[in-house]
Structure 1
Amino acid sequence: MIPLADPTVSLEALRAWVREKTILAALESFHLQLGNVFRINLPGFKPVMVVGPEAARFVLVDEKDQLLWRCEGDPVTSLLRQGVLVIDGEPHDSIRGVMNPALHRKMIQTYVTSFWRRTDEITSGWSAQKQVDMLVEMRKIALLILVDTLYGVDFRGELAALWAPIMKSIQYISPGLWMLWRGVPRPGYQRKLRALDGYLYEMIRRRRENITETDDLLGMLVVNPNLSEGMIRDQLLTMLIAGHDTSTALLSWVLYLLGKHPSVLKKAREEVDMVLGDGVPQWEQLSQLVYLGYVIDETLRMYPPIHLGSRIAAADLVFQGYNIPKGTRVLYSIYLTHHMEAYWPEPHVFCPERFAEQRPIPYTYLPFGGGQRNCIGSYFAQIESRIILARILQQFDLKLLPQNVHPHMGATLEPCPGVRMAVTPRSV
């Protein structure tokens, strides 16, 4: 039988949750006491949690065809409908094949200017503010970049008007009461979600009327004769929400950790100065930002934006001797795997140098998932984050302001209540 927490184990997990102000602490407590396979026992929500490299391989490779991404009734499925993130089998492979070229390395090279220019458009207002919330600012940058590069649209004019609908869509798919009470009334969402739909359908209409660009994602979708407007909308919304929210979380966590570790910040800034000087980032320079890459890698280990994967067993399965009946929700925890001391010495210590010393053991490091369905935007995110962070370090001195920050399990794992920093323009 799959291990289940008794009252003593549950009480210890609850204490950890209260002490650390994050449910991740409770999951770490369960993992420590119950092992790499355990069941979460809540009213209406009883998934099996699996942890570790063997579990990741089981989910991502060995039984990938029997563990489905789509769960009817989940808000993310209701919102994204037939989006690439929530469909399986041939329909997934087909639409991903249409989308892949827009996220290929060759295309991403052409996005470099947008990455730093859109960053500058937001950071140009920092001098007057003195203090900013990096969680908000990184979201602005990520949204401008995504809509510009993948849809060929300048989003600055719509950013303020669509901010609330975008935040509402993220809230809609985040963990909440719906996990325990399927079908719980959720008033207050539909008007905002319709506004976002209206924007996307109008974007599709305009591109259809004036097809001048077909090598960005929107163009590739619009010229495909097999895709309805609804199917195109589903992919645009999937990329808009999932694409920008993961980048927002990653960038915010990096800046938080740099602020918490001034010596790391100093070393990363010195590298940026040496490589970039006072020029804008160029594609050819990015491979020289080695230490900044380690900082990003270590941040993704400590606070992976997508901290778990959720699947539905399509058949009776067995993992490490435990029976998993058909229909069971299976969660594989990227966060817990990234914090296993057997693979990551002092896992709660921020140490970018660990990535200089050795390559991670397979399936112990999964910030972008793994297997055939690894994150479609993983390379985009890695290049984007390096350029945005380099540009910020190049232009500003940063100081983390006093605050109690903890990981919040929303649609992504983000720093709560935010990352407030003092920003001062540098004189290079």
Structure 2
Amino acid sequence: MKTPQRGWMRNSAMSTYAKIPTPSGRLALKALQTIVRTRSPLPALEVFHGELGKVFRANLPSFKPIMTAGAEWARWLLVEARESFLWKAPKDPIARLLRDGLLVADGETHDVMRRLMNPALHRSALTGYVEAMWRATDRIADQWQPDQTYDMLTEVRKIALLIVMETLFSVDFMPQIERYWSAILHMLRYISPGIWIFWADVPRPNYRRALRRIDEYLHQIIRLRRQNLAQTGGQPNDLLGILVSAEGVSDDMVRDQMLTMIIAGHDTSTGLLSWAMYLIGAHPEAACRIRDEVDAVLGDSPPTMEHLAHLKYLDRFIDETLRLYPPAHLGSRIAAQDLTHDGYLIRKGERVTYSIYVTHRMAEYWRNPAEFEPDRFLEKPVPYSFLPFGGGPRNCIGAAFAQVEAKVILARLAQRFTFTLLQHDVHMHMAVTLEPRPGVFMRVKRR
């Protein structure tokens, strides 16, 4: 047996390892009752961690990951031991779909692609995207009829799709959005939690047509861009241009990165923005503070990067939304070798997760953790207790993009509309990201 690495052992003299706790039948029943009451598995994780501590092993058929929570475990996984874990679990649907996409790639493939893609997503590039962001918001919002009801989960998804396609690929997706809407939703369901967790090779033929349609569309965009650059000799001015102009980057590799950015660049934003709209409706005092701040800073002008720096309360509101409802609520890694940490042995090949959701709601780090209090972010959180975009060297490459995008969209909507939440009874649904279900139904009124 390979000797476990001892660099992260708290006691190098240990010759035995503590058994990772597993839930008892009584605790499992308590968790099940919580799931029934809240209509979501996430509060059940709080039940498990509340009784078992910051690490336990799930005991489900064919699925027995090590589940962790808390800043210390997150720091270990994301920073201290990061080289000893793999991101890609080859049989997971997201790995099958994205192949060598940045989100799941390991080693040199990841490092090379991240260096190549970083300029298009660096904070210095974002100023050039702000106008496209508020114009996309207007294009969808202009379709809203006064005093009518709309599901903001659907509406902000449309906005996020237009933005990612326009800013990163210079594609006007508005004429295509209806044509590909169903295929996009099928693709997201394909990688959402499901029976595949327990049966990795479960046949899923219903998704093939949708995935093929998305692939054909992306390859068409790639071909047209290559032709355009060849004919004009122009310089790449967006992420797609950078990718197709890079030496040795195949069409398949470009496709993998495009699909990664479409999923990561629109679905996480959809989760954040839909929960933000829910909280705006559920907390009228917060909506008033946002509106007053936007009016004072923007007046009648569209948002600019200079304006965004002065929207301090909106910043805190977005952070509190991300704390309560982190779109990426769980991180998952595969141990590349035997490891030890905190007195526990982790075997090569075992899945280790860290719960961003639970960490964001731990009383150890947050005062009144279940309460909506944006002003808590007047103080800086404990390191690695706030992880909406991951942490360490492999934090989300689009973190700055997502934060600017959310501020632009919410500021523009606050500038133009007031919203009334019609259905307060929503629950957390674990899709690709954390979504409010059955939706965020709001009556829209122009200001």
1:166–1:241 contact (8 Å) kept in structure 2: no
Aligned with 2:257 (options 224, 227, 235): 235
Aligned to 1:294: 316
Confirm whether residue 178 of structure 1 aligns to residue 196 of structure 2: yes
Aligned with 1:137 (options 155, 167, 170): 155
2:102–2:113 contact (8 Å) kept in structure 1: yes
Give 1:26 shift: 1.1
Aligned to 2:115: 97
Confirm whether residue 384 of structure 1 aligns to residue 405 of structure 2: yes
> CA separation in 1, counterparts of 2:222 and 2:50?
50
> CA separation in 1, counterparts of 2:235 and 2:313?
37
Aligned with 1:247 (options 269, 272, 293): 269
Aligned with 1:315 (options 337, 346, 354): 337
Q: Secondary structure at the match of 1:268?
A: helix
Confirm whether residue 360 of structure 1 aligns to residue 381 of structure 2: yes
Aligned with 1:343 (options 359, 362, 365): 365
Give 1:25 shift: 1.4
Confirm whether residue 393 of structure 1 aligns to residue 414 of structure 2: yes
Post-superposition CA distance 1:294-336 (Å, at most 9, x none): 0000000011100010100011111211111111000011110
Confirm whether residue 57 of structure 1 aligns to residue 75 of structure 2: yes
2:282–2:424 contact (8 Å) kept in structure 1: no
Task: Spell out structure 1 runs of 4+ moving beyond 4 A.
Answer: none
Confirm whether residue 219 of structure 1 aligns to residue 246 of structure 2: no
Give 1:104 shift: 1.3
Aligned to 1:411: 432
> CA separation in 1, counterparts of 2:423 and 2:137?
25
Normalised to the residue count of structure 1, the TM-score between the two structures is: 0.98
Aligned with 1:324 (options 346, 349, 357): 346
> CA separation in 1, counterparts of 2:228 and 2:171?
13
Q: Secondary structure at the match of 2:150?
A: strand
Matches within 5 A, 1:64-103: 64-103=82-121
Aligned with 2:220 (options 202, 211, 217): 202
In structure 1, runs of 5+ residues without a counterpart are: none
RMSD in angstroms over aligned alpha carbons? 0.9
AA at the equivalent of 2:209: R
Aligned to 2:10: none
Q: Secondary structure at the match of 1:241?
A: helix
Give 1:402 shift: 2.2
1:13–1:29 contact (8 Å) kept in structure 2: yes
Confirm whether residue 372 of structure 1 aligns to residue 390 of structure 2: no
1:53–1:362 contact (8 Å) kept in structure 2: yes
> CA separation in 2, counterparts of 1:105 and 1:53?
26
> CA separation in 2, counterparts of 1:256 and 1:27?
23
Normalised to the residue count of structure 2, the TM-score between the two structures is: 0.94
> CA separation in 1, counterparts of 2:106 and 2:441?
40
Give 1:106 shift: 2.1
AA at the equivalent of 2:71: P
In structure 2, runs of 5+ residues without a counterpart are: 1-18
Quick one: structure 1 residues 267 and 403, their matched pair in 2 at CA, closer, same or farther if it must change by over 3 Å? closer
Give the number of aligned pairs: 425
1:69–1:87 contact (8 Å) kept in structure 2: yes
> CA separation in 2, counterparts of 1:127 and 1:161?
23
> CA separation in 2, counterparts of 1:236 and 1:402?
36
Post-superposition CA distance 1:263-315 (Å, at most 9, x none): 11111110001001111111111110000010000000011100010100011
Aligned to 1:162: 180
1:83–1:234 contact (8 Å) kept in structure 2: yes
2:147–2:445 contact (8 Å) kept in structure 1: no
> CA separation in 1, counterparts of 2:430 and 2:408?
26
Q: Secondary structure at the match of 1:132?
A: strand
